[in-house]
Structure 1
Amino acid sequence: MNSAPEKIAIAIVTFNRSTYLKELLASAAAMDTPPFKIVVVDNASTDDTQDVLAAAIKDFPEGLVINHRLDTNTGGSGGFSEGTKVALEQGADWVWLMDDDVEILPDALEQFAPWMQRFKVIHGRRYDFDGTPFYWQAKFNEFLGVPLPYSGKQFGREGYAVTNSGTFEGMLISADIVRKIGLPDPRFFISWDDAAYAWLAAQHTDVVYVDAFVLKRKREQKQVNLGIRHLNDGSPLFRFHVIRNRAYVGKYFAEYGKLNRVGFGIGTALTLAKEVFRLVVVQHTLKGLGDLARGFRANRALWRDKSWRPMDPADVPAQLTNDR
């Protein structure tokens, strides 16, 4: 059996889903190889999350679980930015980012171990809530500025596929890469943050999707199976941010000289069309059109913001010289 490196920190972001968090932490306690640290970022939950967390911590060695509660809800983006920062402050060599509505498979770190010798940003496979393999294989089309499913077999002979997109539902990233590209950008709040972060990483290293199951998704969602991908339902917050945050993606593309304004505009139009399709086909309503319109107005305002700067790698905690 492959042994996993010692300093993998799990960064979990949670908000008002204490039942899922309890199940996730129980799965973490049952891992064959325990992580170096578990950082739980509580995004100002108003339910019994803190009570659940206090009880769950007793199942771990002292100091392994860090309860990091925020005063305000910073969205998934802010939570993952903060979780990554705290993990690196603790001395982690790797950060495994995940939402609260997943379950960790017992041998997850052993499954990751051989890949960590070769790559710096890794996505393992996930089971869906019904136990079937969850389909995820997205890659940025840089002309359009949108991640699209890539065709063909998911994995080559060696058991991995190179991508340039990502998800915070299971992205494992080396601290070395975080120090090159900066922390996850909290300004996204939700949507596009993980895809854009993996794209940034892909400008410096290979980002891969490996044929190794490490997580199971727990939350059931309304969805339509389109064959090449599943389309889930979306919230008003999601609809607003998925359009607004296109501006952030475009600005990062421009920083690396990869922005094609015509193509990116087409990509934004396609994104808008997809969200209208989602409303009609998955949610059977048009009531969310106002959210998309507000998002588009905010998108235009962000494009005009000349003060915007990318995340600064200088803000990433320095590597510790001594083991903890």
Structure 2
Amino acid sequence: MNTRVCAIVVTYNRLETLKTAIAHILAQTVPPTEIVIVDNNSTDGTKEYLQTLQGKNSIHCIYMESNTGSAGAIAKAMTYGLTRNAYDYFWILDDDTFYAPNALKELVESIEETPFVMLGLHGANFKMGAKVHADPNVRLQEIDYAMIDGALIKADVVRQLGPLCEEFFMMCDDQEYSIRIRRAGYRIGVLKNGADDRQLLGGGGQFTKATLWRNYYSARNHTFIIKKHFSLLEFIAYLYHQVKLLLTAAILAPDRFKRVQFRLLGIWHGIRGIGGRTLDPGTLKFVK
């Protein structure tokens, strides 16, 4: 297989998990041509560790001066890869997901046998603003949206459409990119082969600290999407979705006032076009 793949790994303060993630990438039966690791200004020794890997096993490291989130880091790596002009695909990875040895091989084989320009391992269709997950019993299928973690994207399409929107910081950047791809007339698929082991270190549960900042960024970035890709149907779905989530938080959340406040601020910042890292996920304090 002569396909040239640039693997992009984004990391932030997960040194031990990152080591395992890198080991899984290096163990691929079809290895990527280059592994670009973007460190989002970690403070746990990640930078020092990555400096020992630079230039080995086709690894190139990029060190961000501040935490730019997944969107900013992926955009930076995509731009680097495009300037190299040496790749057929970008394979987008996170530091909390471990991939089976067959992951990249099956992604490449499947995308080259289909009309898809982006092929993910998880995806969904949209119905009135709600995600309807891809059928788990269908191995290869077309969908509206592919999760960026684990997705393979044709480099020519990235060159045409540009990288991810840095202003998103976290959340919904892959949804916006999927819309951009489909509006350009391309198709997106999902490969349900179970080749990824997601650690979900971002946190779970409905009313956790993690969902506080995630809900803020989700509300803000959904507003960005409506502004960038407006349609009346999607706008109605957006209003329904936001009202539903606001009511759920107001009625059920133990920290209802803060949760409603964060979502409303997210919508307001989206309307005003305030992007980037506006809320610190660690301290839950606004930084802009």
TM-score, length basis structure 1: 0.74
Q: Please, which of 80, 98, 120 is the counterpart of residue 117 of structure 2?
A: 120
Contact 2:123 2:144 in 1 (8 A): no
Any idea what the Cα deviations from partners look like across 1:74-124, whole Å, max 9, x if unmatched? Answer: 111111111211122232210011211111211222211321212210012
Q: Please, which of 244, 249, 257 is the counterpart of residue 220 of structure 2?
A: 244
Once the two structures are TM-superposed, the CA of residue 215 in structure 1 deviates from its matched residue by: 1.9
Q: Please, which of 160, 171, 175 is the counterpart of residue 191 of structure 1?
A: 171
Partners of 1:239 and 1:211 lie apart in 2 by: 27
In the alignment, structure 1 residue 200 sits paired with structure 2 residue 194: no
Partners of 2:14 and 2:240 lie apart in 1 by: 37
Once the two structures are TM-superposed, the CA of residue 212 in structure 1 deviates from its matched residue by: 2.2
Contact 1:22 1:53 in 2 (8 A): no
Question: 1:135-150 maps to which residues of 2 (within 5 A)?
Answer: 136-141=122-127, 144=128, 146-150=129-133
Any idea what the Cα deviations from partners look like across 1:52-81, whole Å, max 9, x if unmatched? Answer: 2234457x43xx111100111111111111
Could you tell me which runs of 5 or more consecutive residues in structure 2 were left unpaired when the two chains were aligned. 276-288
Query: Could you say if the C-alpha distance between residues 243 and 112 of structure 1 is closer, same or farther in structure 2, counting changes exceeding 3 Å?
Result: same
Contact 2:144 2:178 in 1 (8 A): yes
In the alignment, structure 1 residue 264 sits paired with structure 2 residue 238: yes
The amino acid of 2:241's aligned partner reads G
Question: 1:215-226 maps to which residues of 2 (within 5 A)?
Answer: 215-220=196-201, 223=204
What is the root-mean-square deviation of aligned Cα atoms in Å? 2.8
The amino acid of 2:218's aligned partner reads V
Any idea what the Cα deviations from partners look like across 1:175-232, whole Å, max 9, x if unmatched? Answer: 12112322100011111111111121122211011122332112456546xxxxxx69
Aligned to 2:283: none
The amino acid of 1:190's aligned partner reads M
Query: Could you say if the C-alpha distance between residues 176 and 18 of structure 1 is closer, same or farther in structure 2, counting changes exceeding 3 Å?
Result: same
Aligned to 1:127: none
Higher RCO (Cα < 8 Å, 6 or more apart): 1
Aligned to 1:52: 49
In the alignment, structure 1 residue 154 sits paired with structure 2 residue 108: no
Partners of 1:288 and 1:278 lie apart in 2 by: 11
More helix by proportion, 1 or 2?
2
Aligned to 2:150: 170
Aligned to 2:267: 296
Give 3-state SS (helix, strand or coil) of 1:288's partner.
helix
Any idea what the Cα deviations from partners look like across 1:105-152, whole Å, max 9, x if unmatched? Answer: 11222211321212210012xxxxxxxxxxx542233xx4x341147x
Aligned to 1:69: 63
Partners of 2:101 and 2:250 lie apart in 1 by: 38
TM-score, length basis structure 2: 0.82
Q: Please, which of 66, 77, 85 is the counterpart of residue 83 of structure 1?
A: 77
The amino acid of 1:15's aligned partner reads Y
Could you tell me which runs of 5 or more consecutive residues in structure 1 were left unpaired when the two chains were aligned. 125-135, 225-230, 306-324
Give 3-state SS (helix, strand or coil) of 2:159's partner.
helix
The amino acid of 1:98's aligned partner reads L
Count of matched residue positions in the alignment of Structure 1 and Structure 2: 269
Contact 1:196 1:249 in 2 (8 A): yes
The amino acid of 2:87's aligned partner reads A
The percent identity for this pair of structures is: 22
Query: Could you say if the C-alpha distance between residues 71 and 222 of structure 1 is closer, same or farther in structure 2, counting changes exceeding 3 Å?
Result: closer
Partners of 1:232 and 1:138 lie apart in 2 by: 24
In the alignment, structure 1 residue 98 sits paired with structure 2 residue 80: no
Any idea what the Cα deviations from partners look like across 1:269-303, whole Å, max 9, x if unmatched? Answer: 234456x28973xxx54343332232132133239
Contact 2:223 2:267 in 1 (8 A): no
Give 3-state SS (helix, strand or coil) of 1:212's partner.
coil
The amino acid of 1:262's aligned partner reads I
Once the two structures are TM-superposed, the CA of residue 251 in structure 1 deviates from its matched residue by: 1.9
Give 3-state SS (helix, strand or coil) of 1:89's partner.
helix
Q: Please, which of 34, 38, 51 is the counterpart of residue 37 of structure 1?
A: 34
